């Protein structure tokens, strides 16, 4: 699928990740788009096998947009439009900053229809705006639905380093009184938040929930941290569950 280098080939994307390189190549092959690889910043080379630390991908000029579209559709590589971001800030975000009773539906729609790179870039830009953190927190607690998990994960990563007592308080309130769907969605993204005592207590709250479905989700969140399960069994006796929770919390002081 990789042709010899020719004048009709143009740079498409670069990657230093072997996993991403494999995904790019397999996706281009599946779409029938010819491509070549060269050492980024070095002399052009096409490779049938082997990996470079940093690779540049080239495709025929007349298939460049098709290559961009197919990779973006597969969630691999997407362009971020600075013009689109600026319009979103000016036309959606800034007007929301002026509203006391915010309707976040338009912002939610924007993040629903745009690619993950654009959504992440928007969140990071909003965070730099005055009042942006509060707006993102409001959005976080509005879109806590299972069908929005990809966006919720991204938002958790952006907000996590800035989480304060108010954010943690809202999180615990939803975990205590929210709908099952909202609680399950938030528990799912708890591992994306920084490793703090507050996050551990949020997970412990799920582990103590009277509903088995919530405890199951909490157990999965613990396992996702990569530290084992501390002997916790969602269906085990309460005394044994509590002992495991104590061991889990002991890691965080």
- Note if the pTM is more than 0.85: no
Residue 248 CB contacts under 8 Å (≥ 6 apart), including other chains: 200, 203, 204, 207, 222, 230, 232
The sign of the CA dihedral 13, 16, 20, 22 is positive
Residue (of 149, 236, 253) closest to 198 by Cα position: 253
pLDDT at position 249, please?
95
Contact (Cβ atoms closer than 8 angstroms) between residue 139 and residue 117: no
Q: What are the mean pLDDT values of the chain's consecutive 10-residue runs (253 residues total)?
A: 61 78 90 84 38 72 87 77 89 91 89 82 93 94 81 93 94 95 95 95 97 97 92 96 96 78
pLDDT at position 13, please?
81
User: In whole angstroms, what separates CA 29 from the centre of its chain?
Assistant: 26
Q: Please compute Rg for the chain using Cα positions.
A: 23
pLDDT at position 112, please?
82
Rounded Cα distance between 67 and 220, Å, is 37
HSE (side-chain half, CA atoms, 13 Å) at 20: 17
Instruction: Spell out a b/e string for 30-57, using b for 16 or more CB atoms within 10 Å of the CB, else e.
Output: eeebbbbbbeeeeeeeeeeeeebeebbb
pLDDT digits (tens, 9 = 90+) for 18-56: 878 888 899 999 999 999 987 654 333 333 333 345 678
Q: Where do the domains of the chain lie? A: 9-73, 80-139+150-159, 163-253
pLDDT at position 46, please?
37
Max CA-CA distance within the chain?
A: 71
Residue (of 75, 40, 80) closest to 58 by Cα position: 40
User: What is the torsion angle, in degrees rounded to the nearest 10, for the CA atoms of residue 202, residue 203, residue 208 and residue 210?
Assistant: 90
pLDDT at position 252, please?
81
The neighbour count for residue 203, using CB atoms within 10 Å, is 26
* Arch. (CATH architecture) of 9-73: 2-Layer Sandwich (3.30)
């Amino acid at each position: 699928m990789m042709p010899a280098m020719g004048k009709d080939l143009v740079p498409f994307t670069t990657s230093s990740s072997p996993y991403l390189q494999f995904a790019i190549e397999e996706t281009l092959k599946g779409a029938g788009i010819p491509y070549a690889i060269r050492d980024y910043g070095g002399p052009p080379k096409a490779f049938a096998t082997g990996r470079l630390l940093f690779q540049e991908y080239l495709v025929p000029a007349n298939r460049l947009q098709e290559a961009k579209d197919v990779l973006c559709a597969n969630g691999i590589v997407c362009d971020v439009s600075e013009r689109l971001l600026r319009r979103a800030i000016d036309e959606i975000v800034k007007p929301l900053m002026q509203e006391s009773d915010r309707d976040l539906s338009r912002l939610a729609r924007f993040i629903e229809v745009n690619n993950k790179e654009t959504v992440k870039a928007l969140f990071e830009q909003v965070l730099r705006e005055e009042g942006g953190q509060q707006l993102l927190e409001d959005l976080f607690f509005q879109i806590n639905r299972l069908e929005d998990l990809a966006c919720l994960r991204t938002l958790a990563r952006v907000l996590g380093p800035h989480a304060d007592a108010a954010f943690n308080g809202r999180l615990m309130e939803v975990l205590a009184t929210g709908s099952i769907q909202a609680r399950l969605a938030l528990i799912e993204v708890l591992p994306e938040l920084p490793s703090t005592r507050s996050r551990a207590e949020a997970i412990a709250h799920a582990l103590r929930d009277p509903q088995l479905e919530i405890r199951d989700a909490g157990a999965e969140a613990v396992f996702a941290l990569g530290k084992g399960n501390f002997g916790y069994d969602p269906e085990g006796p309460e005394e044994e569950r509590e002992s495991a929770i104590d061991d889990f919390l002991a890691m965080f002081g």
